[in-house]
Structure 1
Amino acid sequence: MADVKAILAGKYPAKAHARRVVEWMRAKNPGVSGVLYLEGQKTRMIEDNDETQPFRQRRFFYYLTGCALPDSYFTYDIDNDKSTLFIPPIEPESVIWSGLPLSVDEALSLYDVDQVLTTDQVASTIAHPHSSSAVWAIANQVSDHITFLEFNEKDFSLLKLAIEECRVIKDEYEVALTRHANDISTIAHTAVLKAVKHAKNERELEAIFIAKSISHGAREQAYHSIVASGTAAATLHYLKNSEPLTGKLNLLLDAGAEYDCYASDITRTFPINGRFSSESRAIYDIVLQMQNVCTNMLKEGVIWDAVHLTAHEIAIEGLLKLGILQGDKEDILKTRTSVAFFPHGLGHYLGMDTHDTGGHPNYEDKDSIFRYLRVRGPLPAGAIITVEPGIYFCRFIIEPYLTDPVHAAYINFDVLNKFWEVGGVRIEDNILITKDGYENLTTAVKDVTKMEELINGS
């Protein structure tokens, strides 16, 4: 395993990313030259308030700079391989409130760029490009005072696409960031496990997760946590996180810390009282088998659609053994009846965004088993993908299947009635694809015996 601390002691490889993006653009358009132009996210005020909104850097900008400062700009001179970061100048009146900002020299030492200037120099710098030059920018991410009048060619589409595609394959530094985010999230997940038996409601557990993340260096969350107890676990993107835990079987915790703009995304499902019910354990074992088999299929070039289909086949086999489904396995798969219990895709790319770029989903797919699959096609080495199978007992989703004679023939309603209180079970890990296999970056406990020991304090 790579030494995460040693890797992260270096600079975020922004210059290498810029070169990679240009290489991708030239594969599409061999004549690409001129200047790449990007703007960071602006400071924004809360409406009717003198406070700023929480800041989140634009990911396209961060990928080529490694800079999380608001109100910054960036250019990359393709032909001269020269990158320039523009940061806000010192405003004396703001220093008393916010302290001294980052200086030009400090920024040059922190970021992998060739030159650092201040933002009051952006317009004049780009106003004198090379003759017959082009500028490559992102639509709707160019400030009004930037005109590009001196450029002969202006393109507002290729750069965004290039960055989206390049972000799929992670370099060593990006993998280290994701691994570290996972390590912090594992600490936070473990803390929730240890607290769940004595907690009164979902919000207590969300607070524990966030507190542990922040105390270990991850101030931001990759997404709003899902802390779903009982039947609420059947809601895929549950939002309340405030309901009481009393009398409920399980807790589904889908939560991940973000570290230096890179996400983790981990889900665990466990018994609130420290012991799975027989129904909950049966579903958990099926989902764990789905995850283990599918993860073991992963390597460079594997077709993600086929892995997802395998997850459905295992779900069908498991639900047939329990008697929830009935009939022939192949017929059930053909009619897509299993979608009633596993309605989402097996996973998604992970990076600076939780649902990261480059997956090429097809949400218009007529085939319901693939419609919500966020990644389609072969997986490249260097991609990080989540593997998150689940089985859910959501009345809103399942009951229409029970009134459809085609699907209803394959569902045993009497057996199904025993499982509604299970809610839903999902298990999710973050997997790095390699040439010959994979590496699981997630170490949070999912073994039933170990989970129950942690919950019971034994």
Structure 2
Amino acid sequence: MASYETVLKGKYPAKQHARRVAEYLRKKNPHATGVLYLEAQKTKLIEDNDSDMLFRQRRYFYYLTGCPLADSYFTYDIATSKSTLFIPPIDAESVIWSGLPQSVDKALSLYDVDAVRTTDEVASALAHPHEGPVWAIANQVSDHISFLSFSATDFTLLKEAIEECRVVKDDYEVALIRKANAVSALAHTEVLKRVKHAKNERELEAAFIGTCIANGVREQAYHSIVASGEAAATLHYVKNDEPLEGKLNLLLDAGGEYNCYAADITRTFPISGTFSPESRAIYDTVLEMQHVCTNMLKAGAIWDTIHLKAHEIAIEGLLKLGILKGSPEDILKSRTSVAFLPHGLGHYLGMDTHDTGGHANYADKDTIFRYLRVRGKVPAGAVITVEPGIYFCRFIIEPYLKDPAHAQYINSEVLEKYWAVGGVRIEDNILVTDTGYENLTAAVKDVEEMGKIINGA
């Protein structure tokens, strides 16, 4: 297998993606013709300010172009398979401040498209009579754009087609995720090196982001979660500014983004370099959950079944510790384990951290599956996170303690010893293959190895 750096020397396979999307449209409508139309994200000013807002490229546009430029447009003729990218022309006043923009010739050499023109030609290109319909995305078409020359306009199927096609990654997309993972692993290691002597969560967030930027991954895939002590029980903790003194553990959920593709990695480790007995017991249970569930992955595996296995192992572990009591079958049936694992086992990963195509059902009345972001079979070529966790969140657990249906399975006296653990989550990014899987995440999670790094051994 070629290294990801070798793969990334080539072009992002935009034409291949466009053909896949067109094929999806034809499966839904065998006689589909016409033109795919997409717009890049627009540059916008900060409200009450003359500076630009932070730019994030539209993922639908990027998937069919590989182009990160703002204020651009794209068309793809289904019949001829011709793709055209429209980029902003030179604006003399803008050049004074920002330098020369990308030229048409440079864009053609960089992006996998058939033609490059400037955005002042979009209207005339669309005005040319077209026999088939135009396929676009609702609320992502500029006011000055007209589709009057097309026989019809479809604002629904293109978005669906791109979202479904994005689930299965090609080699180039996997290479981008590998790169994001490799650099993110370096950043996770840097946090391990600093945690014992840091005073505040924000120091560690800075260390993570700084390491990513220094190694060529400038953007973050999401807002980092740097949660110490009981704050680790908050699933999407955002403060990242609490002191570390007196806390047992740190949960670090952080990943860089490289060329629009994300890493999503979580590690939990002892701030002192050595887990407390309670923390180690929970960590070992979560690590077993991840190991068993990851080994169940291969093309066609049912994600719901794997998620259920995570709960079964969590129940077994919590029973051994005396936190839960009763039969494992009754505890699972009552859904009491949801108090300790309230979220889904994982999600698809790609251009979005919570990537498209998972078919979640947040209206599911079964609490064990309600927040599962992926349902059904997992195909080969998908990248999915496996991120089991056990949490001791008072806000979530205390209502269970007041409900006789659940309280009968929880030993509140034993539970008291575990609040300080906060929460333990371990998350890797897994490429699903026909026969199994490949773990794309190299960040350290072995307890002894983490301890050596924290203690400078």
The answer to whether TM tops 0.5 is yes
Are the equivalent residues in 1 in contact too, given 2:188–2:208 (CA < 8 A)?
A: yes
State the partner residue of 2:7: 7
Q: CA deviation at 1:5?
A: 1.0
SS at match of 1:204: helix
Residues 281-327 of structure 1 deviation map (CA, whole Å, 9 limit, x = unaligned): 00000000000000000000000000000000000000000000000
SS at match of 1:287: helix
Q: CA deviation at 1:3?
A: 1.3
Q: CA deviation at 1:161?
A: 0.2
Structure 2 distance, partners of 1:435, 1:253, is 31
SS at match of 2:196: helix
Residues 79-101 of structure 1 deviation map (CA, whole Å, 9 limit, x = unaligned): 01100000000001111100000
State the partner residue of 1:87: 87
Residues 399-443 of structure 1 deviation map (CA, whole Å, 9 limit, x = unaligned): 000000010000000000000000000000000000000000000
SS at match of 1:419: helix
State the partner residue of 2:162: 163
Structure 2 distance, partners of 1:385, 1:133, is 37
State the partner residue of 2:443: 444
Structure 2 distance, partners of 1:242, 1:303, is 39
Structure 2 distance, partners of 1:410, 1:160, is 45
| Mapping 1:315-326, distance limit 5 Å | 315-326=314-325
State the partner residue of 2:99: 99
Indicate whether 1:136 and 2:135 are aligned.
yes
State the partner residue of 1:53: 53
Structure 2 distance, partners of 1:129, 1:167, is 31
Indicate whether 1:313 and 2:321 are aligned.
no
Are the equivalent residues in 1 in contact too, given 2:346–2:386 (CA < 8 A)?
A: yes
Q: TM-score, normalised by structure 1?
A: 0.99
State the partner residue of 2:110: 110
SS at match of 1:75: strand
Structure 1 distance, partners of 2:158, 2:94, is 35
Residues 377-397 of structure 1 deviation map (CA, whole Å, 9 limit, x = unaligned): 000000000000000000000
Structure 2 distance, partners of 1:263, 1:117, is 30
* Number of residue pairs matched by the alignment: 457
State the partner residue of 1:281: 280
Structure 1 distance, partners of 2:365, 2:377, is 21
> What amino acid sits opposite 1:201 in the alignment?
N
State the partner residue of 1:72: 72
Residues 178-212 of structure 1 deviation map (CA, whole Å, 9 limit, x = unaligned): 00100000000000000000000000000000000
| Mapping 1:228-243, distance limit 5 Å | 228-243=227-242
User: Structure 1 residue runs of 4+, over 2 Å off?
Assistant: none
SS at match of 2:143: coil
State the partner residue of 1:150: 149
> What amino acid sits opposite 2:430 in the alignment?
I
Q: CA deviation at 1:2?
A: 3.1
Q: CA deviation at 1:129?
A: 3.3
Residues 306-360 of structure 1 deviation map (CA, whole Å, 9 limit, x = unaligned): 0000000000000000000000000000000000000000000000000000000
Q: Which runs of 5+ in 1 are unaligned?
A: none
Residues 361-381 of structure 1 deviation map (CA, whole Å, 9 limit, x = unaligned): 000000000000000000000
> What amino acid sits opposite 2:401 in the alignment?
L
State the partner residue of 1:345: 344
State the partner residue of 1:425: 424
Structure 1 distance, partners of 2:236, 2:102, is 38
Q: Which runs of 5+ in 2 are unaligned?
A: none
SS at match of 1:414: helix
> What amino acid sits opposite 1:363 in the alignment?
Y
State the partner residue of 1:119: 119
State the percentage of identical aligned residues.
76
State the partner residue of 2:62: 62
> Alignment RMSD, CA only?
0.5
Structure 1 distance, partners of 2:81, 2:416, is 65
SS at match of 2:358: coil
SS at match of 1:270: strand
Q: CA deviation at 1:455?
A: 0.1
| Mapping 1:120-269, distance limit 5 Å | 120-130=120-130, 132-269=131-268
